Structure 1
Amino acid sequence: MDESLRQAARTGKVNELYTVIQRNGNVLRHFDEVEFIETPLHIAAEEGCIEFAMEMMNLKPSFARKLNHQGLSPLHIAVRKGHKEMALRFLEIDKHLVRVRGKKGKTPLHYLCKVGNQLGLLDPFLEASPDCLQDVTIENRTALHIAIQNNRLDVLQLLIPTLKRKDYYWEVVNRKDKDGNTALHIAAIHNQPKMLKLLLNCKADKHATNQVGLTALGIAQQHNYRENIAILKGCFIPVVSNFKRKLEEQVVKYVTKASLLIFQNMDNISADDRNALLVILGLLLTATYQATLSPPGGVWQGENTSKSKGSYDEMVLGKSVMGQMDFLLFYILTYLVFLVTLFLTLALLKTFPHGFRTALQVLLAFLAVSFDESISDIAPTNLTYVILNIFSGILFLLMVSMCIVCRVSKISVSIVGCWILPSILYLCLGRSEIGMGVGQGLLLFLILYDEFCKGTILIVCYCLFVSVCVFFGTSIDFKYLVALMGCWQFLSLGRLCIMQCTQFCNTRL
């Protein structure tokens, strides 16, 4: 490197940079020709010369991704030297610099996880490129591994909430390093009970084994870390815990296989194709929903609503004038089109930002509920009503399946469950409203067992909605609402008590 250029970079004098350029217009060209080299941008990053670094980024953006002889990019150096403002300015120009892999595959995020978040750079890094949490070193270690290994609880407390908002959180939190250790193993090795709790709340697999066949619990028992043992046991009967794990693995395995067959390569569709498909699917959703608002032939109205001449049956009011078979032929096909369209739309939303995607999923869940209710309301006979309830059950099961493979949120599934399950359970449980409430509470608990606050808010809102409907004349027994709320609270509080008792007993042991 030209000594004048080096001096200009060290002192941060932009005028001297241009003096060098005036003497030799190609002074910066040879840096691009060498694979690993220390550029003026590296020197400016080390010295904290922001103005010079920004000018260099303006002239040669490629320098920001160059690695020096130590395998470090300018952003690596800025993080290591603690130049916060410099690092932030780099991100303003190119947010993907967070994912530049340096020596041993470490990104700037990995360096930050090692040194800690004293400078407050972690939030900007995660905001700039949330997917950087997927990056691993050559030892297959994630940012979680590195933060735990260096006892950076403050870093882990920021990483976990960001990770939980991602569809791939389970894969990241359970990724194994070269020794087969997950982040949970590392936390157990370093005796970090608070970190263990954070990881377990993020669905860390406590049954995962490393290359020597040890689980995180096995490691804790080897070192006799009593608090860690209490946290990791989590069940009075190991057989129950193992059965639950194997059942979950099998369900996830087969649902994931089915999902791959249906949605394979869907996430790789270009933005233009995705937008075009969403427009087409939107039109299909509109057309199928319109069929419930304006059924062929209309609905029975006025005084002459009965099919029996000279008589009047108020139950026929608002029902479709179509015959039973005609109604089923038309609306079964309509329901199938709606189902396929709805789930293709939900699948295409996966690449959208988390918050925006969740909002759209909730709206689509309410649309599905409205569609189902509309068809049920105009069903002309009990048989058609029962058959349509079968499709309602299929809708709910498909929502659950998509939730398992992280394509829809739990809250969306719960919304569909709240409004669709009652009629199905009412028919299946011999028209018992108490049984309907208990069954609905049980199914919702199975979905939202680990999200007590969200589940309680949803059920309270649903109960208020039903109460308003009752006020305006809907024939629903309040025993149903009491059974629903009681079942949810009983199961949730029971789970909490079991967890507390388990932890207490394990600690005493």
Structure 2
Amino acid sequence: MEKRLSEAALKGSVDSLLELLQEDPLILDRIIVSCISETPLHIASVLGHVDFVREILSRKPELASELDSDGSSPLHLASAKGHLKIVKELLLVDSEMCMVLNTGGRSALHVAAIKGRVEVLTQLVWDVPESTRVLTDRGETVLHLCVKYNRLEALKLLIELMNKESVLVNWKDCDGNTILHIAVAKKQIETVKFLLSTNGVEVNTLNGNSSTALDILIHSPRDLRDMEIEDSLQAAGALSVKDLHLITNDRVPSKVSRITRRLTSQQSSLKKPPVVKHKHTDWLGRKRSALMVVASLIATVAFQAGLTPPGGIWQDTYARDPNIPKDKSHTVGTSVMATTEPIEYGQFMIFNTIAFLSSLSIILLLVSGLPIKRRRWMWIQMVIMWIAITAQVVTYFIALRHMSPTDINVQSMLREVTEISVLTWLTLMAVVFIGNVVRMNLWILRKYGYIKEKETTPSAAMDDEQEEEEEEEG
């Protein structure tokens, strides 16, 4: 009988259910007291058989509170699958099942959020608003799960429905992370922007590691999304924990603007403006990071070019025919270009090796641990980088010329492209060089008093002072 009942649930056959009930009116009661892993209501709920579910609930509503071997109720299964009509029927019978956690520590609302079932989420919140306050076994709210599984639409809906529960947007899980911490850690740009535009979200909350959302971004592996996320955070007033301590003296972030205004008013009444601690723009740090990225890229390209030179490598071994004057021998695995055009191959390898070794020398200097943090060392590394980039450009044109056919029109076009490119490159290099020379001369003239300093506001004076300190370090 139990096997036939399970088959009826799989098919969603109400007629089969009624027939079984006529044969044994107590069959549903036996299901409740038996030790089966899942009831027919579980099966029908996960498969979406609405009529079958409605018929069982009308005869034995107690089955709505039965749990399977994973601790899941029929409401868990229907919510995860997104069967809205079944969810409504189950809520009418026993709405308290919204508060029950399965063995994974999740409620029906949690599994619906993880799967992004927006309609089911709406129904659950409307019928049982207190279900939004149920936490997982890791102390996570349903909002944490939306961000964790990248369900932005579900997150927007829940925050809109829970507008009176603003405390939940700043709730911390067992690791002390709010939903903003998690969104930044997972580099979810759209989610971060939405949270920053939401009222009540605190951007400078500390997690269990005493890190703000901006700290998490700074210490995470860098990629192309970081700049956009960082701009959004800073536009919303996000600070690192270091800046929070400097500005607020370990007070709450909401008082930052008030303290800043008080300091500004005091500065206007004093003869000598006080030194206000401000965020240090790590110019050298940013330059080192940029040099490391570019050097790694050039080293990779040069290494690949050395292994696969233009024209590829010979796939066989050939012995020269003495009867053919221009015939040449070659060995499998050697460069085709080295055999056919040895002079150009030598030029190609020279410039490619310069680019490769120059980029590796920069990487070696940056990771060596030597005290090369002064500005003069940074300029030396930048000059090496110019050499590496220029050698890479020459390597590119040599390869391009080798791969181009000997047709007159093609060679003429290649010559024009090369001349324009080289002229543009030399012009750019000259502009950069002249700009740096002018900047150095202006700094020398200001340092020795040949150029009078212009009057500036206190904040601008502090910025100039910081720039001069960086110049003097160089």
- TM-score (normalised: structure 2): 0.47
Task: Flag the structure with more relative contact order, 1 or 2, with Cα contacts below 8 A and sequence separation at least 6.
Answer: 1
| Structure number with larger C-alpha Rg | 2
Between Structure 1 and Structure 2, the one with more helix by share is 1
- TM-score (normalised: structure 1): 0.44
